[in-house]
Amino acid sequence: MWALCIWASLFLISITHWVYRWRNPKCRGNLPPGSMGLPLLGETLQFFRPNTSSDIPSFIKERTKKYGPVFKTSLVGRPVIVSTEPELSYFVFQQEGRCFQSWYPETFTEIFGRQNVGSLHGFMYKYLKNMVLTLFGHEGLKKMLPEIEQIACRKLDLWSSQDSAELKDETASMIFDLTAKKLISHDPGNSSENLRENFVAFIKGLISFPFDIPGTAYHKCLKGRERAMRMLKNMLQERRGNPRKNPSDFFDYVIEELQKEGTILTEEIALDLMFVLLFASFETTSLALTLSIKFLTDYPSVLKRLTEEHEAILREREDPDSELTWKEYRSMTYTFQFINETARLANIVPAIFRKALRDIQFKGYTIPGGWTVMVCPPAVHLNPDRYEYPLVFNPSRWEASESNNASKNFMAFGGGMRFCVGTDFTKLQMAVFLHCLVTKYRWREISGGNIIRTPGLQFPNGYRVKLTKRGNSERYT
Ligand code: HEM
Ligand SMILES: *[C@@H]1O[C@H](CO)[C@@H](O)[C@H](O)[C@H]1NC(C)=O
Ligand SMILES: *[C@@H]1O[C@H](CO)[C@@H](O)[C@H](O)[C@H]1NC(C)=O
Ligand SMILES: *[C@@H]1O[C@H](CO)[C@@H](O)[C@H](O)[C@H]1NC(C)=O
Ligand SMILES: *[C@@H]1O[C@H](CO)[C@@H](O)[C@H](O)[C@H]1NC(C)=O
């Protein structure tokens, strides 16, 4: 009996001690305020709670009110310092590889592959980035412009002939096909298996509880990745069997590189990278594009101004039916403001994660080495001190962006060394699509268009519109 009592009290004491340690982590210095939540679970559930608002997530809002702009918490089993401060976020981006390193939750590395760009460091990383930039850098995009225009016009023409079009899925499929064509010359009409379907299965289970048993979303997600990877692998091997004379896509580039002596690239790394690029490109851009069309519907004065800019481009031309040129693309001043404003309010990437490599002092607080730092772009993009009336969609606020500390107050595409390599590609695709849309079509809403954030942006009911061709005399001007 006594022994049992002693055991029970020892057990209680160690549990209490453990819970105490959980709630009060050790730190040589002064941890920011905040709560570590429940043991193990932390505040994970609160973080993922869905909300239909475009405002700063209530998880962040409540805690900044209570604790200030920098606070501690625990998410998916990791101690986390949340930064809503532009200064700290900027510092974190600038110190990449020195004080901080890119880090994503273990479930992410499991599903994205261990070799993906997000978790590669140093030399290998720079090398992969250069490979990506040959395709999506300035010169590559210049070459791609006519093709992007053709595809956008063809798709819009097709949709306008239908009763209605669901923009979220349709733009995703358009962008996926284009990216797959550029990266691996994939032609969906040619293969029996649908590569995109596997990606859709993959994405659906991406933010789900990591239980790998048949029937769960997570299981389907892993299976989707597996099948997509197998397809990519077959394609790569087929191509290695009969290489082409003029390298033109990413596969050619990879194959050339793999044949070099002493190369550090492996087939596995190349395939993981391909997967990440396909994934990163189509979901993000289609969300931004769909939301931007929603904004155009809700803000007629913005639609009017955007249309004027694009009609002016047509007017300046000798032949209004000629192709869009790079020079014309560069002249779309208002369109770029429109895209920035869309990205600011979309907050497609609601959190960017880093790992602290050692103890770091910031404004009297200590960020312990090994902890995760979560930079929170929505908290900056929707802060009324940085953007007046932050929830109003107003592209013109970007007119003065040069003097506005834009690099510190705008992080929709990340910052520092790991700034999104797809930024220019996304902007080009959006601008060209919008050009075709506003000069040739009108549309009206049929259904959907409502959003939900978990905290990632989603259109739970899609966004269905009816597109009609505009007559030549229908001008806003
Ligand atoms: C609206 C569209 C997009 C948004 C909002 C977006 C956002 C971001 C953000 C915030 C990061 C930084 C992540 C970090 O620091 O950990 C990032 C990185 C990245 N993005 Fe994008 N992105 C978009 C489109 C694209 C496209 C079209 C591609 C593909 C060509 C792409 C490829 C990448 C890659 C490869 C990285 C990793 C770069 C690195 O780690 O250095 N993104 N993106
Ligand atoms: C959604 O977010 C808004 C703004 O942060 C907040 O006021 C509201 O209470 C949240 N709703 C729910 C159900 O959490
Ligand atoms: C399929 O692949 C062949 C050869 O790679 C190509 O000539 C053809 O245009 C492709 N597309 C279709 C739809 O068959
Ligand atoms: C869009 O935002 C970026 C900040 O990342 C800024 O450099 C650029 O000038 C902005 N574009 C416009 C048209 O304001
Ligand atoms: C830019 O940032 C600096 C320091 O962070 C601040 O003093 C200055 O007022 C800012 N400028 C504008 C135009 O917001």
Report yes or no: 184 and 249 within 8 Å, Cβ to Cβ: yes
Q: Specify the residue with its C-alpha closest to ligand 4, atom 8.
A: 401
pLDDT for residue 416: 85
89 lines ligand 4 (CB under 6 A): no
Torsion of CA 104, 106, 111, 113, to 10 degrees: 80
61 lines ligand 2 (CB under 6 A): yes
Beta pairing class for 78-83 and 372-375:
parallel
Q: Specify the residue with its C-alpha closest to ligand 5, atom 7.
A: 405
CA of 68 to the centre of ligand 5 (A): 20
pLDDT for residue 477: 45
Rounded to 10 deg, the angle between the 217-241 and 195-204 helix axes is 150
Rounded to 10 deg, the angle between the 267-298 and 217-241 helix axes is 120
Cα dihedral 445, 442, 341, 207 sign: positive
pLDDT for residue 417: 80
In degrees, to the nearest 5, what angle opens at C-alpha 85 toward C-alphas 79 and 87?
A: 115
Amino acid at 369: G
93 lines ligand 4 (CB under 6 A): no
Contacts of 154 (CB under 8 A, 6+ apart): none
CA of 373 to the centre of ligand 2 (A): 24
Atom number, ligand 2, closest to the C-alpha of residue 57: 5
Q: How far apart are the first and last CA of the chain?
A: 92
pLDDT for residue 261: 79
Read off the pLDDT of residues 178-234 as tens digits, 9 standing for 90 and up. Answer: 888 888 877 776 665 678 877 777 776 665 555 677 777 778 778 888 888 888 888
24 lines ligand 5 (CB under 6 A): no
pLDDT for residue 67: 95
Which residues of the chain are under the pLDDT cut of 50? 117-121, 477
139 lines ligand 2 (CB under 6 A): no
Q: Specify the residue with its C-alpha closest to ligand 3, atom 8.
A: 190
In degrees, to the nearest 5, what angle opens at C-alpha 134 toward C-alphas 129 and 138?
A: 110
410 lines ligand 4 (CB under 6 A): yes
Q: Specify the residue with its C-alpha closest to ligand 3, atom 5.
A: 190
pLDDT for residue 241: 81
In degrees, to the nearest 5, what angle opens at C-alpha 349 toward C-alphas 267 and 364?
A: 110
Beta pairing class for 452-453 and 165-166:
unpaired
Q: Which of 348, 373, 343, 370 is nearest to 359 (CA)?
A: 370
Mutate to test the pocket of ligand 4, among 396, 398, 399, 424 (most ligand atoms within 8 A of CB): 398
Q: Specify the residue with its C-alpha closest to ligand 2, atom 14.
A: 51
Q: How many CB atoms lie within 10 A of CB 225?
A: 23
Beta pairing class for 463-469 and 441-448:
antiparallel
Q: How many CB atoms lie within 10 A of CB 129?
A: 14
How many CA atoms lie less than 13 Å away from 176 in the CB half-sphere? 19
Mutate to test the pocket of ligand 2, among 55, 381, 453 (most ligand atoms within 8 A of CB): 55
Q: How many CB atoms lie within 10 A of CB 446?
A: 15
285 lines ligand 4 (CB under 6 A): no
Nearest ligand atom owner, CA of 413: 1
Contacts of 75 (CB under 8 A, 6+ apart): 42, 43, 44, 47, 372, 374
Q: pTM value?
A: 0.89
d(CA 348, CA 275): 19
Report yes or no: 63 and 82 within 8 Å, Cβ to Cβ: yes
Nearest ligand atom owner, CA of 342: 1
Joined tokens for residue 270: 């190349």
Report yes or no: 74 and 21 within 8 Å, Cβ to Cβ: no
